[in-house]
């Protein structure tokens, strides 16, 4: 199938699909005699994997590793789980950091009167 058809099936843009191919994230498609890319069911699986992994916060390099693992019949689920656990820890750290940011912003918002006067506790705190 051509790139337009695979784009519809996966919900990805043709540009993204070509970029994943160029970066070696998915396996290269065969080419027709006229040079057009010809994608298979394997590419649909790889592209769906990349899309879902990206949506879960994995980098393109990590997506490439998942594609490699998915295509390796000798993979160990422990390898896949370890990557997911690492990502989970990274996300938990980001959440903790965002909660600290939220706490600071809430403090500033509650301290600032938000009126027409020039004095602002937020600016005071930022310039300490």
Closest by CA to 111, choosing from 101, 121, 103, 119, is 121
Whole-number Å distance between alpha carbons of 8 and 94: 33
Domain annotation for the chain: domains and CATH numbers: 3-126 (1.10.1660.10)
**pLDDT tens by residue, 23-65:** 999 999 999 888 889 999 999 999 999 999 999 999 999 999 9
Q: What is the pLDDT of residues 5-28, one digit of tens each?
A: 999 999 999 999 999 999 999 999
Cα 93 from Cα 107, distance rounded (Å): 21
* Per-residue confidence (pLDDT) for residue 101, from 0 to 100: 98
What are the E-state strand segments in 1-128? 30-31, 37-38
Question: The whole model's pTM is what?
Answer: 0.81
């Amino acid at each position: 199938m051509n790139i337009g058809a695979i784009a519809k099936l996966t919900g990805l843009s043709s540009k993204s699909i070509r970029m994943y191919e160029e970066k070696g994230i998915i396996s290269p498609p065969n080419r027709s005699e006229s040079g057009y890319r010809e994608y298979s069911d394997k590419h649909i699986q790889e592209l769906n994997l990349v899309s879902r992994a990206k949506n879960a916060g994995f980098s393109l390099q990590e997506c490439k590793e998942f594609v490699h693992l998915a295509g390796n019949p000798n993979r160990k689920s422990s390898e896949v789980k370890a990557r997911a656990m690492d990502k989970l820890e990274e996300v938990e750290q980001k959440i903790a950091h965002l909660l600290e940011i939220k706490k600071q912003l809430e403090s500033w918002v509650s301290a600032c009167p938000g009126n027409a006067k020039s004095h602002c506790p937020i600016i005071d705190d930022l310039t300490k």
